[in-house]
A and B are shown apart, each in its own frame.
Chain A
Amino acid sequence: MAFQKVWVVAEAFEGKPLSATLELLTKARELGATVEAWCWGGDVEAYAAGLGEYGASKVYSVGDVGGVLPGVPVAAAMAEAVNGGNKPDAVLFSTGYDPRDIAGRLSAKLNVGVLSNVVGLAEDGTSEHAVFGGTTVVRAAFSGDTPYLYLVRPKSFAAEPGGGGAATVETVSVPDAGAANGAKIVQRHVEERTGPKLDEAAVVVSGGRGLGEAEKFSMIEELAKLLKGAPGASRAIVDAGWVPYSYQVGQTGKTVKPTVYIACGISGATQHMVGMKGSKNIVAINKDQEAPIFSIADLGIVGDVHKVLPKLLDALKNRS
């Protein structure tokens, strides 16, 4: 089917739309005649123009949701619009913390499925998914009622402005969602971050089990800092509690496509590779010559991270 209207669930941070949102708007523009965005929070007016520039003709603002997690109220407002006759053919969500909640809620409310981990989307609505560590591409299609819900992995599409004007903002009230709307945010904690974000950095340096112990992750952070990049991690060391989940690169975790990805002490489980094999250049350091990571590395160093990294850090420090 050809899409007539596509909705994008938009996210913003500090008054600016996220790049994942702009990617979805660009794709939606390619797919549908009309692109509309859904937002929440107090500062929608501030970035509505930015959404318009990437193709949204209208922005539905659910407004400040009163300190609750947005999944329930935003999905409730969207479902009410759909049930009232304002029905898109498809809704695109990025695979983020809040959009995933909204997608799950909306899916159950409307009794329509969700296709998750989408990395490609054709005009006829067929989606592409990378499975088995990115070695296999699966295509899937909906056969039931619209709207079709797609949860898209960030960085699957390029973001390009479409020269549209400022989108009109329509304020939408949230219907009473009852007990389900009970999860309240009582305090936000913003962790201090220096350097670029993991999924936006031009250089990503990741560490894995080969580092041996949690303290050695400081070498990864130091190398990332010297290269003005971001530190990342394999699932193994996130599960072991060495670093928080937000560092995780892989199937469960973030997809990164930096100019250079440096994998240190990471063997290359399929789980990890699917999240980083789109990197432009891959450097791998691992003492096991048979490690799968070498099969996709542009430069593979068969060696001990505990020997190679300190020397690399010194060499880079001596340059600056």
Chain B
Amino acid sequence: MNVAVCVKQIPDPATPGKLDPSTKTLVREGKLILDDSDAYGVEMALQLVDKAGGGEVTLVSMAPNSEVSGLRTALAMGAHKAILVSDDALKGSDALTTAKVLAAAIQRAGADLILAATESTDGYTGTTPVQVAELLGLPSVTFAKHIEVDGSTVKVNRQTEAGFDEVECPLPCLVTVTAGVVEPRYPSFKGIMAAKGKPVEELKAADLGVEVAVGQQVTDVAPAEERQAGEVVVDEGDAHERIVQFLEQLKVI
């Protein structure tokens, strides 16, 4: 079984984000890292391919400046190869354009199953995976908290507002995973060394036949209304009393 995993390389979430004042798009300079949310899909793919007794895990990613740092992390976990689409023409592209690029890359790779995170940590639009599925004419199951493949069917426990649904879907299809679907491994030293030699195919949008047309623009950036810090109490064994008092004032108790 061959699995394609959509992965995003993002600025480290630990460092504050910035918008470019002239283009009003996210500054994505410096080293990008593998989005934590994507480690779950990579791990799931590795386990499913292993269980199926063979096959390949292909990463597909779109990133500026031929960025591969995040891809190397996922390759070090065990993914076999990657397709990276890096093209200045794609700067500031919206989720649908991204989906067109990823869908074309997945088609090139060929896959029985496509995995993605439910949403990225930086942009968190959460629509790209389903747009990819629609562009490929495939069914999709979002918000998976458990995945099993049984022959040509994928069985998913899908998170819902009230609990979860057991969903069955024929392959090929796309599944988005939540954190906790599986515990991602840490890359081993051997994996890190091996990752350096794994193939990363770099493409432009035009190589995939994708036309870039962006139908939405950021028009304005402004600071939000600040919320002020209030009273701070250092606990000396009785701070709970202050909380009780506070809740009483608010008539919550």
- In the complex, what residues of A have CB within 8 A of residue B227's CB? 277, 295-296
Q: Which of B2-10, B49-57, B162-170, B198-206 contacts A (4 or more CB under 8 A)?
A: B162-170
- In the complex, what residues of A have CB within 8 A of residue B108's CB? none
Cα distance, A196 to B185, chains bound together (Å): 37
Confirm or deny: A174 has a beta carbon within 8 angstroms of a beta carbon on chain B: no
Cα distance, A299 to B160, chains bound together (Å): 34
Per DSSP, chain B at the interface is: mixed
CB proximity to A under 8 Å, residues B75-119: 94-96, 99, 118-119
Q: Are A300 and B230 touching (Cβ within 8 A)?
A: yes
Q: Are B127 and A180 touching (Cβ within 8 A)?
A: no
Confirm or deny: A16 has a beta carbon within 8 angstroms of a beta carbon on chain B: no
- Which of A138, A260, A308 contacts B221, CB < 8 Å? A138
Closest A residue, CB atoms, query B230:
A298
Q: Are B140 and A135 touching (Cβ within 8 A)?
A: no
Cα distance, A14 to B16, chains bound together (Å): 42
Q: Which of A34-42, A56-64, A312-320 contacts B (4 or more CB under 8 A)?
A: A312-320
Q: How many residues on A have C-beta within 8 angstroms of the other chain's C-beta atoms?
A: 98
Confirm or deny: A301 has a beta carbon within 8 angstroms of a beta carbon on chain B: yes
Seen from chain B, the residues whose Cβ lies within 8 Å of a Cβ on chain A are 13, 16-17, 19, 24, 36-37, 94-96, 99, 118-119, 121, 124-131, 133-135, 137-143, 145, 158-170, 173, 178-180, 183, 213-224, 227-235, 237, 239-244, 246-247, 250, 252-253
Cα distance, A285 to B24, chains bound together (Å): 36
- Which of B142, B231, B235 contacts A97, CB < 8 Å? B142
Cα distance, A182 to B153, chains bound together (Å): 10
Cα distance, A211 to B38, chains bound together (Å): 26
Query: Quick one: CB contact mask for A95-119 with B, threshold 8 Å, 1 for yes?
Result: 1110011011101110111111100
Closest A residue, CB atoms, query B95:
A114
Q: Are B124 and A227 touching (Cβ within 8 A)?
A: no
Q: Are A140 and B219 touching (Cβ within 8 A)?
A: yes
- Which of A116, A143, A281 contacts B95, CB < 8 Å? A116
Cα distance, A227 to B253, chains bound together (Å): 7
- Which of B143, B166, B218, B234 contacts A189, CB < 8 Å? B166
CB distance from A63 to the nearest CB of B (A): 19
CB distance from B47 to the nearest CB of A (A): 16
Q: Are B233 and A302 touching (Cβ within 8 A)?
A: yes
Confirm or deny: A91 has a beta carbon within 8 angstroms of a beta carbon on chain B: no
- Which of B17, B215, B243 contacts A113, CB < 8 Å? B215
Confirm or deny: A15 has a beta carbon within 8 angstroms of a beta carbon on chain B: no
- In the complex, what residues of A have CB within 8 A of residue B162's CB? 13, 188, 190-191, 193
Per DSSP, chain A at the interface is: mixed
Q: Are B173 and A143 touching (Cβ within 8 A)?
A: no
Q: Are B169 and A184 touching (Cβ within 8 A)?
A: yes
Of B95, B224, B237, which is in contact with the most chain A CB atoms at under 10 Å from its CB? B224
Cα distance, A97 to B119, chains bound together (Å): 12
CB proximity to B under 8 Å, residues A180-231: 180-191, 193, 202-203, 227
Cα distance, A130 to B225, chains bound together (Å): 11
Q: Are A116 and B13 touching (Cβ within 8 A)?
A: no
Question: Known contacts A137-B224, A191-B162; is A299 also within 8 Å of B125 by CB?
Answer: no
- In the complex, what residues of B have CB within 8 A of residue A245's CB? 143, 145, 159, 178-180
Q: Are A271 and B13 touching (Cβ within 8 A)?
A: yes
| Besides A104-B131, A307-B235, 13 new A-B residue pairs in contact (Cβ under 8 A), listed by A number | A95-B126, A108-B135, A117-B125, A137-B222, A143-B217, A183-B169, A186-B168, A188-B162, A245-B145, A281-B246, A300-B231, A303-B235, A303-B239
- In the complex, what residues of A have CB within 8 A of residue B243's CB? 262, 283, 285, 299, 301, 308, 312
Closest A residue, CB atoms, query B218:
A140
Cα distance, A162 to B213, chains bound together (Å): 39
Cα distance, A283 to B242, chains bound together (Å): 11
Q: Are B244 and A316 touching (Cβ within 8 A)?
A: yes
Q: Are A244 and B180 touching (Cβ within 8 A)?
A: yes
Cα distance, A246 to B118, chains bound together (Å): 13
Closest A residue, CB atoms, query B18:
A132
Could you show 19 A-B contacts with beta carbons less than 8 Å apart?
A71-B130, A97-B142, A100-B130, A103-B127, A113-B215, A116-B127, A137-B224, A139-B219, A178-B137, A180-B137, A183-B141, A183-B168, A189-B164, A239-B179, A244-B145, A245-B145, A283-B246, A299-B230, A299-B231
